[in-house]
Structure 1
């Protein structure tokens, strides 16, 4: 809902489509507000990547391949919850992908990003929830961020389900 305005149709580009596939998962113990911050950040970055792709395309190319974001949630065989957020944006080069979770690292122009969003997301997933966060990307094809978190928080974390 917060990002709805960024997904809507605008002059020179169609609406960005969001495809959701939510599996049947049990209730999990988590810090919901912090997880929402992670989801908001990853989806916002996906929108930015799609908008960057649009800047390099003709209107015809954009209409033929509109921006899309895929969100899927499932329970894994290892009894973790896996959340995937993928886009068909500009993608991330192999040289950069190893740095995306570093604090203050950004590919955005000065004034457009702090370089803290992915770093903070990584801390929330790995340190607070005892999970993993990884990125798979290919330039000009898109990116996918894969989050896996256990059903219960680690002992040293406080929870809000």
Structure 2
């Protein structure tokens, strides 16, 4: 399948739809998406027409209706369905974050630990995170890596948190019991 180039607005709206759909598994109302991305419902309806044309969204008629992402939407956002993703716990100011899943951790400046930043790619909204909040990621499934840091920026469109790292550790191998 050729990659579909989405505008940042389409990407934001499609990401919101995918996240909201995941929570409920039902069709998502345009108003809910509008509230999630802070745009007016008319804008959402217009964007949905273009996303339907791209076969990324299907409309569901009726009182329980709204929009659902198609399988192509996940591919277009490069999001594999949740089942295949390992659960990596995420803590926000020491509270576990429900429904957020860490997809990827990019360490940006490993050579300068004092400047070390990590990009945390989330599946789920980063809206509730603010600069200065403390975040803990992990342990990751294989290396059991745990990263702690402070939010230093974020990219709402791509659901990326930028952390200033406070600590990063992977435990020593534990002997088998």
What is the TM-score of this pair, normalised by structure 1?
A: 0.29
- Structure number with greater Rg is 2
By percentage of residues, which structure has more strand?
A: 2
What is the TM-score of this pair, normalised by structure 2?
A: 0.28
